[in-house]
Amino acid sequence: MSSLIHRRKTRPVFVGGVQIGGEAPVVVQSMTSSDTRDVRATVEQIRELEEAGCEIVRVAVPDEAAAAAIREIRSLIRIPLIADIHFRHQLALLAMNHGADGIRINPGNISPDGIREIVRMARANGKVIRIGINAGSLEKEIFIRHGGATAEALVESALKNIRLLEEMDFDAIKLSLKSSAVATTIEAYRLAAGKTDYPLHLGVTEAGTLVQAAIKSAIGIGTLLYDGIGDTIRVSVTGHPVQEIGVAYGILRALNIRNVGPDIIACPTCGRCEIDLAKLAQRVEGELKGMKSPLKIALMGCVVNGPGEAAEADIGIAGGRGSGILFKKGKVVRKIREEEFVPVLMAEIAKMAAE
């Protein structure tokens, strides 16, 4: 954790064996895009997510068959599973019966009575509930009174539903306040952070395909994390969910909150660059896919500036025409030929990662 970030104190909750809030590290989660009823496809996707570093997974539960599938899915995966419930509270009850570790409800489309039934079962079985406020499906009365899904409206809905759970002596609560508008998202979480100490699940919803989703999520989630707000994060990407994990750890790494996986420092190249640095960077990224060691690896286009500019890197290459320099922590190790760049770098990285 960066010394600059003073993290907001929250009360811890446990989703299966995973702590969220309190002193726990910021937890990375994702959601499957498979049909939950297709157990094989869903388990395959969750295993890919686990491999990439996902720590909690959520699945959609649109009907009884999806709820029932949770039992088998749960037995075949290692990380806790959350059931995502809309409209019908009965599906939450079924999902918990079938082993879901937690429930995400959208109070915009479940009645207070339905929520109370969910709470009763969650309380009896030690399950966690996320109150998942969404700008697109806010309670009508609140939406109208605020003249739209403003940050204040999202927070009012959240606090109202927190009270409903608290009145039943239930406090295994997480909270999210998502909007597809980044500025509204930031403002809503800031307001909520000042009014409640439940752990916050951060995310920008409907963020789009990879690059634009990375931008929106990095600003929305990153700005809040930099202010010490946020206990678990979910990046939304339209596409295979494993992409979400790469973006999530990228955000955490950029702020020194959790350093998982290599940080590749590569110059944008300019008229001084004499090698195809973009190709080199892509090859190195490909070779390092799945590595969890937090090495800083520099790929620089210029022998003169490279080693100095990337002195903070654990290891790096500065490329010139036909040959380059291997350096560690800003110190030149030796000259290497261009065709050796990738194999030499990989061998050195493997050694360093093993240490």
Using CB under 8 A as the binding rule, the residues of this chain from 201 to 260 that contact a copy of itself are 205-212, 214-216, 218-220, 222-223, 226, 236-241, 244, 246-247, 250-251, 254-256
Neighbours of 43 (CB within 10 A): 19
Residues 92 and 60: their CA atoms lie apart, in Å, by: 11
Residues 188 and 177: their CA atoms lie apart, in Å, by: 7
With CB under 8 A as the contact rule, the residue among 75, 111, 125, 282 that binds a copy of itself is 282
Q: How many residues lie near a copy of itself (CB under 8 A)?
A: 83
With CB under 8 A as the contact rule, the residue among 281, 317, 326, 349 that binds a copy of itself is 281
With CB under 8 A as the contact rule, the residue among 64, 117, 139, 285 that binds a copy of itself is 285
With CB under 8 A as the contact rule, the residue among 16, 18, 29, 37 that binds a copy of itself is 37
Draw the binding track, 294-333, toward a copy of itself (x: CB under 8 A; -: no contact): ----xxx----x--xxxxx---------------------
- Least distance CB 134 / a copy of itself (angstroms): 7
168 vs 265, which CB is nearer to a copy of itself?
265
With CB under 8 A as the contact rule, the residue among 141, 268, 290, 354 that binds a copy of itself is 268
Residues 331 and 315: their CA atoms lie apart, in Å, by: 9
Q: Does 60 bind a copy of itself (CB under 8 A)?
A: yes
Neighbours of 87 (CB within 10 A): 12
With CB under 8 A as the contact rule, the residue among 59, 81, 142, 318 that binds a copy of itself is 59
169 burial level (CB within 10 Å; 0-12, 13-18, 19+): exposed
100 vs 172, which CB is nearer to a copy of itself?
100
With CB under 8 A as the contact rule, the residue among 7, 8, 47, 62 that binds a copy of itself is 62
- Least distance CB 15 / a copy of itself (angstroms): 18
- Identify which of 295, 263, 294 has the alpha carbon closest to the alpha carbon of residue 281: 263
- Identify which of 132, 125, 131, 57 has the alpha carbon closest to the alpha carbon of residue 94: 125
* Main-chain dihedrals φ then ψ at residue 148, nearest 5 degrees: 140, 180
* Main-chain dihedrals φ then ψ at residue 84, nearest 5 degrees: -95, 115
Strand-pair partners of 297: 264, 315
> Position of tokens 């990337």?
310
- Least distance CB 343 / a copy of itself (angstroms): 20
Q: Does 55 bind a copy of itself (CB under 8 A)?
A: no
Residues 263 and 313: their CA atoms lie apart, in Å, by: 9
CB 315 within 8 A of CB 330: no
With CB under 8 A as the contact rule, the residue among 43, 81, 105, 134 that binds a copy of itself is 134
Provide the CA 278 distance to its chain's centre, in angstroms: 26
Residues from 70 through 89 that contact a copy of itself (CB under 8 A): 84, 86
Residues 6+ apart with CB under 8 A from 284: 264, 297, 299, 342, 345
Strands 56-60, 27-31: parallel, antiparallel or unpaired by DSSP? parallel
Binding region for a copy of itself (CB under 8 A) out of 9-17, 46-54, 118-126, 278-286: 278-286
- Identify which of 60, 64, 65, 102 has the alpha carbon closest to the alpha carbon of residue 81: 102
Draw the binding track, 148-187, toward a copy of itself (x: CB under 8 A; -: no contact): -x------------------------------xxxx--xx
Strands 173-178, 201-202: parallel, antiparallel or unpaired by DSSP? unpaired
Q: Does 61 bind a copy of itself (CB under 8 A)?
A: yes
Binding region for a copy of itself (CB under 8 A) out of 48-56, 120-128, 262-270, 320-328: 262-270
Draw the binding track, 108-127, toward a copy of itself (x: CB under 8 A; -: no contact): --------------------
- Least distance CB 105 / a copy of itself (angstroms): 14
